[in-house]
Amino acid sequence: MTDRVHAFTDDALGEHDAVALAALVRDGAVSPDELTRAALARADVVNPRLNAIAHRCPSPRPAPAEGGVWFGVPTFVKDNADVAGLPSCYGSAAITAHPAGKDDRFTAQLLSTGLTVLGKSTMPEFGFTSTTEFENGDPTRNPWDTGYTVGGSSGGSAALVAAGVVPVAHGNDGGGSLRIPAAIAGLVSLKPSRFRHLDNAQARQLPIKLVSEGVLSRSVRDQAAYYAAVETYWRNPKLPPIGTVEGPSTRKLRIGLLTTAANGSEPDAATLAAVTVTAKVLADAGHTIEPMTSPVPAGLVADFLLYWGFLAQMSGVTGKLSHGRSFDAARLETFTKGLAASFRRRLFATPGALYRLNRARADYDAVLTRYDAILSPVLTHTTPEIGYLNPGVPFAESIERVTNFVGYTPINNVTGSPSIAVPAGLTEAGLPVGVMLSGAYGGERTLLELGFLLEAQTPFPRIAAAATGS
């Protein structure tokens, strides 16, 4: 039996997105305090069953001044971005919670939108896997059915937005960590181009920057409003501006249809059906759809996993330096330790892997001279039950499960290209399925325009309606 959990009700938040709520605040129809109280009440209703909140603010932290486009709208920040006064534990029991002394650079950019912070959302250990589960602890559950994963690594934020606690929440994406939970929870999320946002010092020291920041939302217009807003705080002059996007473009595009992942994985029937339907919607709107093969070589998967293992190794080696003297590497989870060990076994392959990973951008860009966007699945198969991807599963088994599940999303992290996940309906079991549109470096505007088109032509499923059968 499906066990749906949501907090949508006739309070100050209603079923509004962030754009609508901010307009209500500006018009004086609702106050920021009313929105905050409603969100906290909703969290009290659903979080005992979802386990999506890592840390709560002792008292909500409002924006410092009016003027942000989302002034007064409540949110949660993922547990790997520093927020002054809250700990950053990265989903790891190896880290002892200590309040951050200040916001990091990206947090300041995020909060320039006027959002009110209520706390930090859950994530798996260091964001290394595609489920928000823990080897020794309760998982974060999917509001659409609590027996299933909500994905990862921005799983806590996805659960809170899908369940209606807040309209938007922060996440980031180093291998699909925004797009995976968005697809699983029936949400929208745009992973931007590399260097679109301000970075923290740690990210700037890495050989390859895989991670991009973003938000999860229930509407495309919240994504568009977010990117337009954060550009007013800081914009990378080396990237074209995204600007204000308010709907579909009239341009007719050439869109590649990618169904076979770089690692050779094929989508299951429900996932393929969702992509096929989406391709027809785009074709009916006048866009040209052409089947294509992966824009990067198959060997890139092994190179990505090697670099992922390098990050796991560094998490343990530099733990005390990064997270304090109380960091306890012995408490790292089986999956993290397995990733690190896999890197050590292939240590001497690292220079070649880094060369090929850096080269992948050129391969991808060459393909994107023929297409305006690429349509693909987000994941190779529909949502697994809690436990299937648990980080305590023996590493050889769990890494195979993860890589088979996450076949499409890492391409954009390696190449630095933008990619948006949008809902594409429900499975027979009533769980969301998402599809992904990817573009050329700096091409976020085109992806948002396509997102608006799909939202208009195939309205996104709503958990409240699904729960009542309406």
Indicate which residues carry an active-site annotation. Answer: 78, 153, 177
What whole-number distance in Å separates Cα of residue 184 and Cα of residue 128?
A: 17
Q: Are 419 and 361 in contact (CB under 8 A)?
A: no
The owner of tokens 């790997």 is 80
Beta-carbon contacts of 453 under 8 Å, excluding residues fewer than 6 positions away, are: 248, 281, 282, 285
What whole-number distance in Å separates Cα of residue 304 and Cα of residue 88?
A: 26
Cβ neighbours around 315 below 10 Å, total: 25
* Helix ranges restricted to H, 290-387: 300-317, 319-323, 334-345, 350-367
What whole-number distance in Å separates Cα of residue 157 and Cα of residue 184?
A: 12
The DSSP annotation for 24-84 comes to: HHHHTSS-HHHHHHHHHHHHHHHHHHH--EEEEEEEEE--SSTTSTTTT-EEEEETTS--B
Residues, the chain, total?
Answer: 470
Beta-carbon contacts of 176 under 8 Å, excluding residues fewer than 6 positions away, are: 130, 378, 406, 408, 409, 410, 413
Q: Which of 130, 80, 53 is nearest to 391 (CA)?
A: 130
Per the structure block, which two tokens stand in for 428? 């027979």
Q: Which of 174, 144, 172, 179 is nearest to 159 (CA)?
A: 144
Q: Which of 182, 259, 250 is nearest to 434 (CA)?
A: 182
Q: Which of 236, 65, 246, 52 is nearest to 151 (CA)?
A: 52
What whole-number distance in Å separates Cα of residue 103 and Cα of residue 69?
A: 20
What whole-number distance in Å separates Cα of residue 138 and Cα of residue 51?
A: 7
What whole-number distance in Å separates Cα of residue 32 and Cα of residue 19?
A: 14
Q: Could you give the 3-state DSSP secondary structure of residue 386?
A: coil
Q: Which of 464, 452, 463 is nearest to 223 (CA)?
A: 452
What whole-number distance in Å separates Cα of residue 354 and Cα of residue 141?
A: 35
